[in-house]
Chain A
């Protein structure tokens, strides 16, 4: 029923994003998280207590390394030094999955803009992103999962919609899809599309990991704009979309992310537990 070729070695259970404020609790005792995800760029320093903590935890939890700085959409190509830093980290940690975003953050002159900026979905951008993904997979020696972004603007010049663009990348590069259900919902609302229709158009057989997170809502002169700030519990429409997604993809690793106004660890674990409930629903297992 499900295409398992694209699954990663992560368990089809709910994990959480590991953030610095929670490190002491993880080091003190085992926590009920099925797996952990880190932002790779937070662990590229030569040493120090955070890297030490991660190396200690690595043996106890399956690990996903989520890059936020490779800039797969950069017209000027990828930064060889950054690829080498990531490769060094990944060879040491041997994560069960690695991922990056369909976005750009490094400008042609090398300036790093510290945000996931939107691409026009043109043939030119497709060729650039595909070449960058191929180079990254080669240099990192691993298959990448590429995440659908949350976006706040679109470009007039387009040859593809986002789902079609991602499908082409999967087809051309063999990369997998990290389906961020919150991003899908945020972008759909911000651009007046139907989230379910976008979901149906995505290359769901390539999904290797799912993300959920909270977003903020701001009023504008033309209606609501959703901001993907990872600063609150998951919104109800996003839970509903997660349930719909899992019915289509089958069992899949689901990650709860929380990056601003980081709460106490139990709050984060409770969100993961709710996601675990949706996973149990589709496998028919009792809790």
Chain B
């Protein structure tokens, strides 16, 4: 048997958990009664490695459904969506979508959005470095350029909009978090995840903040973005909000030529 076929058969044996493959077993040395035990070491290694990646990325999902259910769910995901790149920090991007469709967990409709929040935290942790926008830089922009300014989100900054209280549920599962029973499950939430001084942070956004940041993602000029924010939140005050964002490092320093031209 050529090496390519051997590797394909071994891949199927490792991921599918189906019955033994006689063509593969016929290639093995040692006595037949040893084969299953020896192959099992590799099967366990593969599952354990990928399961550990998902456990590290989705700790609150695991707490919500329990270790046993999480393991069974994750193993189904691994069999159906194995990684295609040897870079495991990016493995799990499809897990939230998988949870949406996974029938055994339809009773927990907010679970997939919790997974999206946890994935956003993972992305924020590994996103590229960039210089945050500072108050001085913003102050140096001539007043007549402000309306047309396109604010840039820092590469680590992520926005989430959910019909469920994802931030409250997440917070209840952190050390020292309040009881889950106190969370109003009818509450929709908009959340921002970002990175500051190397640590991943998250908080709720007001409707106006979310509208403005979402407009920035679409590269709308500031005047249009503020209009969208005021529509969602009539009392929206740009100066207060900008001061807070600059303090949190959620915006990126734009390329200087844009500021001076």
Determine if chain A interacts with chain B: yes
> Do the beta carbons of B29 and A108 come within 8 Å of each other?
no
Residues of A within 8 A of B239 (CB): none
Whether a CB of chain A sits under 8 angstroms from the CB of B34 is yes
Could you say which of A115-123, A176-184, A243-251 contacts chain B? A115-123
Interchain CA distance A227-B48 in the complex, whole Å: 14
Other contacts beyond A45-B90, A71-B86, A114-B45: 7, CB < 8 A = A46-B127, A48-B129, A48-B195, A82-B85, A107-B7, A108-B8, A154-B28
> Do the beta carbons of A82 and B126 come within 8 Å of each other?
no
> Do the beta carbons of A153 and B30 come within 8 Å of each other?
yes
A225-B37 contact, Cβ under 8 Å, with A49-B199, A111-B83: yes
Interface residues of A (CB under 8 A from B): 41-42, 44-49, 52, 68-71, 73-76, 79, 81-82, 85, 104-115, 117-120, 122, 124-125, 128, 152-157, 220-222, 225, 227
> Do the beta carbons of B30 and A154 come within 8 Å of each other?
yes
Residues of A within 8 A of B11 (CB): 107, 109, 111, 113
A112-B85 contact, Cβ under 8 Å, with A48-B125, A48-B126, A117-B42: yes
Whether a CB of chain A sits under 8 angstroms from the CB of B49 is yes
> Do the beta carbons of B3 and A49 come within 8 Å of each other?
no
Instruction: Please report whether the interface of chain B is mostly helix, strand, loop or mixed according to DSSP.
Output: helix
> Do the beta carbons of B27 and A85 come within 8 Å of each other?
no
Cross-chain contact of B7 among A49, A104, A114, A225 (Cβ < 8 A):
A104
> Do the beta carbons of B49 and A114 come within 8 Å of each other?
yes
> Do the beta carbons of B3 and A155 come within 8 Å of each other?
no
**Closest B residue, CB atoms, query A82:** B86
Whether a CB of chain A sits under 8 angstroms from the CB of B23 is no
20 A/B residue pairs, CB under 8 Å, sorted by A:
A42-B89, A46-B128, A47-B126, A47-B127, A49-B125, A73-B3, A75-B3, A107-B10, A112-B86, A114-B53, A119-B3, A120-B3, A124-B3, A128-B3, A154-B30, A155-B27, A157-B1, A220-B34, A221-B34, A221-B37
Interface size on B, residues (CB 8 A): 48
Closest chain-B Cβ to A217's Cβ sits at a distance in Å of 13
Interchain CA distance A52-B195 in the complex, whole Å: 13
Residue picked from A47, A155, A221, most chain B C-beta under 10 Å: A47
Residues of A within 8 A of B256 (CB): none
> Do the beta carbons of B27 and A70 come within 8 Å of each other?
no
Residues of B within 8 A of A44 (CB): 87, 89
A76-B4 contact, Cβ under 8 Å, with A111-B15, A120-B27, A225-B37: yes
A75-B88 contact, Cβ under 8 Å, with A115-B45, A155-B27, A220-B34: no
Whether a CB of chain A sits under 8 angstroms from the CB of B84 is yes
**Closest A residue, CB atoms, query B43:** A115
Residues of B within 8 A of A106 (CB): 86
A107-B28 contact, Cβ under 8 Å, with A46-B128, A114-B46, A114-B49: no
> Do the beta carbons of A221 and B129 come within 8 Å of each other?
no
Whether a CB of chain A sits under 8 angstroms from the CB of B82 is yes
Q: For residues 36 through 62 of chain B, which have their beta carbon under 8 Å from a beta carbon of chain A?
A: 37-39, 41-42, 45-46, 49-50, 53
> Do the beta carbons of B195 and A225 come within 8 Å of each other?
no
Residues of B within 8 A of A68 (CB): 86
Residues of B within 8 A of A107 (CB): 7-8, 10-11
Interchain CA distance A227-B39 in the complex, whole Å: 12
**Closest A residue, CB atoms, query B90:** A45
Cross-chain contact of B49 among A73, A115, A227 (Cβ < 8 A):
A115
Closest chain-B Cβ to A140's Cβ sits at a distance in Å of 15
> Do the beta carbons of A113 and B14 come within 8 Å of each other?
yes
Residues of A within 8 A of B35 (CB): 153
> Do the beta carbons of A46 and B155 come within 8 Å of each other?
yes
Closest chain-B Cβ to A167's Cβ sits at a distance in Å of 20
> Do the beta carbons of B28 and A114 come within 8 Å of each other?
no
Closest chain-A Cβ to B24's Cβ sits at a distance in Å of 10
> Do the beta carbons of B128 and A85 come within 8 Å of each other?
no
Closest chain-B Cβ to A256's Cβ sits at a distance in Å of 21
Closest chain-A Cβ to B173's Cβ sits at a distance in Å of 22
A114-B83 contact, Cβ under 8 Å, with A104-B7, A120-B3: yes
Residues of B within 8 A of A49 (CB): 125, 198-199
> Do the beta carbons of B82 and A111 come within 8 Å of each other?
yes
> Do the beta carbons of A152 and B84 come within 8 Å of each other?
no
Whether a CB of chain A sits under 8 angstroms from the CB of B68 is no
Interchain CA distance A136-B99 in the complex, whole Å: 38
Residues of A within 8 A of B10 (CB): 107, 117
Closest chain-B Cβ to A82's Cβ sits at a distance in Å of 6
Residues of A within 8 A of B3 (CB): 73, 75, 119-120, 122, 124-125, 128
> Do the beta carbons of A152 and B6 come within 8 Å of each other?
no
Whether a CB of chain A sits under 8 angstroms from the CB of B2 is yes
A70-B86 contact, Cβ under 8 Å, with A154-B29, A156-B29: yes
Q: For residues 186 through 234 of chain B, which have their beta carbon under 8 Å from a beta carbon of chain A?
A: 195, 198-199
Interchain CA distance A117-B7 in the complex, whole Å: 9
Residues of B within 8 A of A117 (CB): 7, 10, 14, 42
Interchain CA distance A48-B155 in the complex, whole Å: 11
